């Protein structure tokens, strides 16, 4: 993974606002993935989101289905952008991320759950 992956948007990447994700998260073809560390995830996350830390993403690539829509979430949007770059390079093209990450989710007043 290149350092530029944290700042470069792949062409396929769609940036979503919290309200858009709230509407989409119950759709069967949508999978939410939190790419923050386990500790960050446990301190507060979106209900129903799966945690695959960015550093572990490579090990999970076989689990991704190119028919699904993946919405990636991190703290600020940088790690989710890097994760999107990794997925796109591995032929997973239907990828979005939460613009400004959990910071935006919290600012919008959306519900957060803790483990």
pLDDT in tens, 46-65: 999 999 999 999 999 999 99
pTM, full prediction: 0.91
Dump pLDDT digits (tens) for 18-43.
Answer: 999 999 998 999 999 999 999 999 99
Task: Report the alpha-carbon angle 19-23-95, nearest 5.
Answer: 85
CATH for 3-107 is 3.40.250.10
Domain map of the chain by residue range?
3-107
Distance CA(87)–CA(102), nearest Å, equals 20
């Amino acid at each position: 993974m290149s350092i530029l992956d944290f700042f470069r948007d792949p062409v396929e990447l769609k940036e979503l606002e919290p309200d858009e994700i709230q509407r989409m998260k119950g759709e069967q073809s949508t999978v939410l993935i939190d790419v923050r560390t386990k500790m960050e995830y446990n301190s507060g996350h979106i209900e129903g989101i799966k945690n695959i830390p960015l550093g572990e993403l490579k090990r999970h690539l076989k689990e991704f289905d190119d028919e699904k829509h993946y919405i990636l979430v991190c703290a600020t949007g940088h790690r989710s952008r890097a994760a999107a770059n990794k997925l796109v390079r591995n032929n997973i093209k239907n990828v979005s991320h939460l613009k400004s990450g959990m910071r935006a989710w919290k600012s919008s007043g959306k519900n957060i759950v803790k483990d």
